[in-house]
Structure 1
Amino acid sequence: MEEAELCFPQVNTSCRKMSRPYQETMFIYSLLSFITLITVVLNLLVITSISHFRQLHTTTNFILLSLAVADFIVGCLQMPAEILFYRGCWTLGDSMCAVYYFLGFLCVSASVGNMVLISADRYIAICDPMFYSTKVTVKRVRLCICLCWIFSAVHSSWMLRDFLKQPGRYNSCYGECVIVVNYIEGAVDLVATFVAPILVIIVLYMRVFVVAVSQARAMRSRITAVTAQRSNTITAKKSEMKAARTLGIVVVVFIVCSCPYYCLSVAAENNLVGVSSAAIQIWLMYFNSCLNPVIYAFFYPWFRKAIKHIVTLQILKPGSSEASVV
């Protein structure tokens, strides 16, 4: 009986499996597998849509593409690893444990960076629309996205510098996958990947909200004197505001999904972080990667049209990249 409870019965120093009822285990496995599949498929559809259709090659969509890549990595690699470790046994070895944590820190940090870029993009589009096309160019957006991923990689490497040199150094038994984050590293991570970016996002969106309200009042007060040209301008502004609301929902959902994990990391009495600890908070943070493309599907008509082209295999036809999806 004791051997059956060990992760590796042939190893004396093996960790023990977590004892869970069979029905509960199968339900959790099924639910998490379904979430993982949806996350991978939907984010792959976002990546394919923006990459394939030339009409979607806009500065804002390139940031969404970067966010979808981070979410796809979470669904393709992080979620399956969490499912494998559900019973408390890490069977992929110490090297893959290091890769798992590195990708986890990388994706979370990159997602936060992309959220800041989205907020800055909407801030300029609403508050300084006359200079949006000159300030926010495709070249500059691509540069910002590259810098975001580079910073995320550097930050993740610094956070895990000792662990990457010697994976498994903090394991108490064979089949465990844990890291120890000291106070200074935890504080830096909290400020760099949560507190500071969230403050920047809140300030930018508060400014966007104030400007949007003032513009809406100005439109209503002058609605009787609107000309055809003015009408086009109002339509453009409404489109920008709708995009700001949609992307604002994405940012709010991200904050809601991430807060429990970071609050737990602050309130924890010790700094031992493992795949098996705080499973609900970790999965809630990962679940945000599934919610982002769902939000696009509800609020972006171009995404629904692009999915239709992909599902019906119309993207395989010559010249399909020029199809109208907006």
Structure 2
Amino acid sequence: MEADALESLFLNSTVTNLTMFSIQSPTVGTVVEDNDPEIEHGMMKVPLIKAVFLFAYILVFFSCLIGNSMIITVIIVNRSMRTITNFFLANLAVADLLVGIFCVCQNGAHFVIFEHGTWPFGKTLCHMYVYILHMIPNSSAGILVLLSIERFIAVIRPMLVHHLMTKSVLVLCSVLVWIFSASMNLPYLFAVQYLELKDPETSESFGICTRRFSMWNGIHILQLVSTVNLIFWYVIPLSILMVIYITIGFVLMRTTEDDSVARSANHSRPIMVGNNRRMSEAPKIEVVDSRRRVIRLCVVIVLAFALLSAPRYIYLTWSVWRDTNSPRCLNCLSAMIQPTTFLLMFINSGINPILYAFLSQRFRHAIAETFTFSKTKKTRQAKLMLELYQRRMSTGDHLTGHSNSDVGGRQRENSVVESLINF
């Protein structure tokens, strides 16, 4: 009973202080969705639920921190990894690393560890936390679109990718994504509100990191920003991603079918290489396998972005449009929706190193060479040179008897393959 009474006292004190703030500033109110001190008194007190969430937050934190740090280090240290695709992956890793540093631990401590939804990290981290929490997912979405456009060009027009995606273009596109994302979320930075409250019973002070809303010419600023972010940084990017990867899938499947027909027609005819007879089917098989891996990877990329980002975007938009005076059930499962949406968004940042890098053979080799100091670099380089030599031999008209047009087609095909393998 004493604990319940103290808890009620905390809540009444908090609500009273927030109400006083609203009265003193008639044009400004308080939205406590992001760090509402009432939310945590329900289901999160159940030991099993608390343990599960705590374990998940710890796992996601280390995944964000270690995984993305490894990706950035590998790209910086290994000159051969500084490709167009990896440039975008490095930007994505930086964004996800910021999520791990400034958001995951703070959010987990707020929801799982500390009582009454308190914020023990101070005013500065409160501002950084709320701003980065809203900005980084948008930046990641923009970078993901740039990465997908580069993949699209590499598959559809492989000979143009290096002419279009120059160093200046890459830097400009990335900078624009960061600038747009940062500027469009500035209202959240100005809406951050750090409150220091005091328990009248114990005279202990505690902080709350929340948001305040403001009206401008009858427009609810956070409602406008949240709705625009949902459309501009989720709905539109997801639509672009779906169109791009569906097109890539059709192109790769059609090319795979053409290769199968060609292999069937030439199955009984060996290919002459110099004075020796040698079959060049191995590179073709590698081509087919590489394309299939890319198709699967594209599907995973789109699904991960769509499924893990959607709950947070939708909940955030709902939170600023809902009636803040309506009662909320703190002991219902619905009270777990908010921390779950946060956790899913953080998981997306934690698994990005796996989806975009660890599924790439080149990244696996580069990670092994960078962090294990293995002596496999020369062996890997020799293998890559042999594969490149085999591809060139299979495209030579003076060796295979194919026409110049066939040679051009195979060269374009090899450009596609090399681009996909580099990914």
Name the residue aligned to 2:208.
Answer: 176
- Checking the alignment, whether the CA contact within 8 Å between 1:7 and 1:175 is kept in structure 2 is no
Q: How far apart are the structure 1 equivalents of 2:97 and 2:83?
A: 20
Check whether the contact 2:57–2:108 (CA below 8 A) recurs between aligned residues. Answer: yes
- TM superposition shift of 1:310: 3.6
Secondary structure in structure 2 of the residue aligned to 1:152: helix
Distance in 2 separating the partners of 1:47 and 1:68: 7
Secondary structure at 1:130's aligned position in 2? coil
**Gapped regions of structure 1 (runs ≥ 5):** none
For 2:159, what is the secondary structure of its paired residue?
helix
Amino acid at match of 2:363: F
Matches of 2:225 and 2:60, distance apart in 1:
31
**8 A contact 1:67–1:114 mirrored in 2:** yes
Shift of 1:26: 4.3
Q: Which runs of 5+ in 2 are unaligned?
A: 19-36, 200-205, 214-220, 274-279, 325-335, 385-421
- Which segment drifts farther, 114-123 or 210-219? 210-219
Residue correspondence of structure 1 range 226-305 to structure 2 within 5 A: 239=290, 242-243=293-294, 245-267=296-318, 270=322, 278-296=338-356, 298-305=358-365
Displacement after TM superposition at 1:79 (Å):
0.2
2:244 equivalent to 1:204: yes
Q: Deviations over 1:139-197 (max 9, x none)?
A: 3222211221121111121x326415xx348x9x9633233464322221111111111
Distance 1:36 1:310 in 2: 22
Partner of 2:130: 101
Question: Helix, strand or coil for the counterpart of 1:35?
Answer: helix
Question: Which residue pairs with 2:230 in the alignment?
Answer: 190
- Of the three residues 68, 92, 111, the one matched with 1:67 is 92
Which residue of 1 is the match for residue 330 of structure 2? none
Q: In 2, Cα distance between the equivalents of 1:206 and 1:26? A: 40
Offset of 1:241 from its aligned partner? 6.1
Q: CA RMSD in A?
A: 3.7
Larger RCO (alpha carbons 8 Å, 6+ apart): 1
| CA pair 69-153 structure 1, distance change in 2 beyond 3 A | same
Q: Give the drift of 1:247.
A: 4.3
Q: Distance in 1 between matches of 2:348 and 2:154?
A: 25
* Matched residue SS, 1:45: helix
Deviation at 1:98, TM superposition (A): 2.0
**Which residue is equivalent to 1:163?**
191
CA–CA distance in structure 2, aligned partners of residues 271 and 132 of structure 1 = 50
TM-score for both structures, normalised by structure 1: 0.80
| Matched letter for residue 230 of structure 2 | L
Partner Cα separation in structure 2 for residue 215 and residue 311 of structure 1: 37
Deviation at 1:306, TM superposition (A): 2.7
Amino acid at match of 1:281: T
Equivalent residue, structure 1, for 2:107: 82
Aligned to 1:130: 159
Identity of aligned residues (%): 24
TM-score by length of 2: 0.63
C-alpha separation in 2, matches of 1:85 and 1:49: 33
Letter in 1 for 2:307: V
Query: What number of residue pairs does the alignment pair up?
Result: 313
> Does the 8 Å CA contact 2:71/2:357 hold for their aligned counterparts?
no
- 138-147 vs 294-303, which moves further: 294-303
